[in-house]
Amino acid sequence: MRRYLLFIALYGFCFSPYVISERIKDIASVDGVRVNQLLGYGLVVGLDGTGDKTNQAPFTGQSFAAMLRQFGVTIPDGANFQVSNVAAVVVHAELPPFAKPGQKVDVTISSIANASSLRGGTLLLTPLKGLDGKTYAVAQGSLIVGGFGAEGADGSRVTVNVPSVGRIPDGAMVERAIDTTFGGTERITFNLHTPDFTTAKRVADSINDLIGPDVAIPVDATSISVQAPKNPAQRVDYLSLLENVEVVPGKASAKIVINSRTGTIVVGQHVRVEPVAVTHGSLTVTVREDVAVSQPNALADGTTVVVPDSDVEITEESGPMFLLSPGPTLSDIVKAVNEVGAAPGDLMAILEALKQAGALKAEILVI
């Protein structure tokens, strides 16, 4: 039975004659205004026997002993102790731009050893550092774990979601602000999220139409340099005005994205095909193995034996040929493929063959 392919088309509603405009803040970001990743190593305590097995993860015991020494608790060298309610974890967070000391950010905690679950645990004070090695925040608090697991005595186990990862909303307090290049220069730069020369020119033209000529200059397909006041207060008002300017982005180039793992095929609106006829068939080879008994007649001097009996069957499905007319639209391509009933794997082969034949005017991206 043929399986019909459901197409997911980029700009699927672009058959509408209306033009959709977007704000600059939705398609671009200000150069220097960005998030920064923070990372730390810590301990989660208070687990109900679901922590690390320290005989298999010795660094957990070493970290726990080092923490105890800070509080004056001395552990003899070479002592072998088991703490099944402690887990070594990695803590990471994103520090938003302009974050100031005293503000809080969310943190994510992930087990790095063999803890089966972090549910019910508490993260101890953990410094979070940037790439420069400086501490920008400290994290601590009780974890929220969405996963759950249960294990029986016979080794059977049921796990829902991932119990070895948790989060702490507002779990880290900012201790140091990150320097930015937002102020002090005569110009600011908008960087497009998707580089496009047409969009860059339209952004510059929209700003110049609002503020004045030569205020915005497109530098390349990504960046637009804009003249701005040096005073920080005036610059905030200025950017508030610019980021709400509406622009009609340039149309994306013709692309077909293929995900071979899931069988998903995404076809862009501007994909075109030159006149071409296509047929695609499937060859199926079926081998059945059976056994038969060879029984000699009563007067023959022989023995009864079992012999293999192989049955090989070859079936070739007839693939109907369909015609793609000159320059069909996206809807024409969808209609033609659905009529022939191509499965996702067959369609991938057809698209690749069309590209090799030079009939497909689009870029194929396999992810």
What is the residue type of 136?
Y
For 108-147, the pLDDT digits (tens) are 999 998 888 899 899 999 999 999 999 999 999 999 998 6
Annotate 323-359 with DSSP letters as a single string.
EEPSS--HHHHHHHHHHHT--HHHHHHHHHHHHHTT-
For 61-108, the pLDDT digits (tens) are 888 888 888 888 887 776 666 778 999 999 999 999 889 999 999 999
For 16-62, the pLDDT digits (tens) are 445 688 999 999 999 888 899 999 999 999 998 888 887 778 888 88
| Predicted TM-score of the model (pTM) | 0.68
What is the residue type of 269?
Q
Provide φ and ψ at 306, rounded to 5°. -105, 125
- Where are the chain's structural domains? 21-33+181-247, 36-174, 255-366
CA–CA gap between residue 80 and residue 131 (Å, rounded): 35
Percent above pLDDT 70 for the chain:
71
Fold of the domain built from segment(s) 21-33+181-247: Gyrase A; domain 2 (3.30.1360)
